[in-house]
Amino acid sequence: MKILNLRDLEEKIKVEEDGNTYLENAKKKAREVGLRTNKLTLADDSGLEVEALGGLPGVESANFARKGASDKENNEKLLKLLEGIPFEKRKARFRCVMVLYDPFEHMEEWVEGSVEGFILDHPRGEWGFGYDPLFFIPELGKTLAELPLEVKNSISHRGRALMAIKEVLKKRYRV
């Protein structure tokens, strides 16, 4: 089996993420790409959810400050909204929903992965992207941006979702 990503395809496919949930966005991306390529397709959507902000930024994580915002702008908006809120009330989680779509059977299965932590009041770490420098994992005593990639991938929301989808592939396709 050969695994491709969107950059490997001759046709450039861009799917607008306009759903209200991670699942809606992941399903839309998986279906559109699967139907256009006639290939088994895996797509995901993910975001950061902060309890003190009622789950924000959520599905709008990438565009939290504004559409097309930089990581720095999104982090600044998040920190501004959390000003004055003590660390113990800054509980957060990263969530990822992955959808596997089979265009031949018109079947889809989905899984979810998450990682729990807290939002710091200043960034720490040089690795990662997005909210990683603010997302602190107490058990490790580090932010996601302070972890080597192999450690981050093994405990992250996407890493956990990938492990779950691997089980779906084994069961369904004996891969």
DSSP state of 57: B
- Confirm whether 18 is a catalytic residue: no
Tokens encoding 136: 């602190």
Within 55-156, where are the H helices?
71-81, 149-155
Catalytic residue among 8, 18, 44, 45, which? 45
Active site residue ranges: 45
